[in-house]
Amino acid sequence: MQSSDPYRPPDSSLESQPEEVAFTLGSPQRVVLARGFQWYAEGFRVFTRNPGPWLLCMLILFVLIIGVSFVPMPNEHFQLGNVLDTFLIAGLILGIYGQEKGEKFGVESLFTGFRHPQTLQLLMLGIVSMLLYGTVNYFMLNEPLQEFQQNMESVTQNSAPSNEQISTMLGYQATFYKHIFFSMLANIPVMMLFWFAIPLVVIHNVNAYEAMKLSFLGCVKNLPVMVIFLVLGIIFGIFATIPLALGWFVFMPVLIGADYTGWKDIYTRQAAR
C-alpha cells in the first residue's frame, strides 16, 4: 500500500541510470573520411575510462601471447597466438559493449570470449586467421628469412667485421625489410577479413564465414577511411614501439576501442530501449 506521508522520499532512485542501448545489425554503410582519425580518438576515450583494468588486461594478454609463442609448430609463421588472441580480443570487445549498457569493465572481461555461446565460431575465426596469415607470411618471408640468416652468419663469422662486410650486412637487412614491407601489403586483404569479424560474431551472433564476408565488404566500402586508419596506425605503432614497446600497453586498447567504434559506425543502427 502506498504511504500518504508527503515527507517520505520517493521509492525510485533519482540517480540517472545508464540507458540500455541496442545495436541492430545492418548492411555495411559508408562513413565520412574523418572517421579514419576519429576512431583512434574514441578508442583512446575507451581506454581512459578504465586505464587501470586495461593496463592489467594488456599485461596478461601479452604474457599469454608470448607464452603461447613457445608452443612448437610445424612452421614459425603459423602461430597459435592468432587463435588465443581472437578469444582475448572478443572478451575485451564484449567488455566495452557491456560498459555501454552500464556494466562494469574489469580484468575478468578479458576471458569472457571463452564463455561466450559463439565459442566455436571464435575458434573457427582464430584457426582461419592463423592459416591465412601463416600462409601469406610463409610464401612471402620463409625463403628470404632463411637467406637473410645464412648471409648474416657468413658475414658475422669474423669477430671484427670490415667496413665492406658491414656494408654488405646493411644491404642484406635492407633487402629483408623490403620483403617484410611487401608481406605487410599482402596481409592487408587478410586483415580486412578479420578486422570487424569479432564484434560481428560475439555481438550479433553471426557465423564465422558470414562475419569475415561482412568485415571484408565493410572495409572495401570504406577503403579510403581504412587507408587513413592504416597509415595512422603504422605511425602510432612506430611511436608505441620506440620506448621498449611499452607504448603498446596504451595503443593496443586504443586499437581495440577503435575497432569497436568502427563496427558501430559501419554495421549498426543504434536504438535506445
Confidence of residue 16 (pLDDT cuts 50, 70, 90): very low
Whether the CB-CB separation of 105 and 50 falls below 8 Å is answered with yes
Confidence of residue 13 (pLDDT cuts 50, 70, 90): very low
| Rounded mean pLDDT, 14-32 | 70
Percentage of the chain surpassing pLDDT 70?
A: 85
Question: What was the pLDDT predicted at 21?
Answer: 57
pTM to 2 decimal places: 0.83
| Rounded mean pLDDT, 33-61 | 96
* 17 or 90, higher pLDDT: 90
Whether 145 shows a pLDDT value over 90: the answer reads no
Question: What was the pLDDT predicted at 270?
Answer: 65
φ, ψ of residue 196 to 5 degrees: the values are: -110, 5
Question: What was the pLDDT predicted at 30?
Answer: 95
Calculate the alpha carbon distances from 211 to 108, 122, 138 in Å. Answer: 25, 10, 25
Question: What was the pLDDT predicted at 140?
Answer: 87
The amino acid at 257: G
Whether 231 shows a pLDDT value over 80: the answer reads yes
d(CA 124, CA 159): 49
Whether the CB-CB separation of 133 and 194 falls below 8 Å is answered with no
| Rounded mean pLDDT, 131-148 | 85
Which residues does residue 25 pair with via DSSP β-bridges, in sequence order?
A: 268
Q: Where are the alpha helices (DSSP H) in the chain?
A: 35-49, 51-68, 81-100, 119-155, 163-194, 197-204, 208-221, 223-241, 248-267
- Three-state DSSP class for residue 193: helix
User: Shortest CA distance to 112 belongs to which of 129, 92, 97?
Assistant: 92
* 153 or 80, higher pLDDT: 80
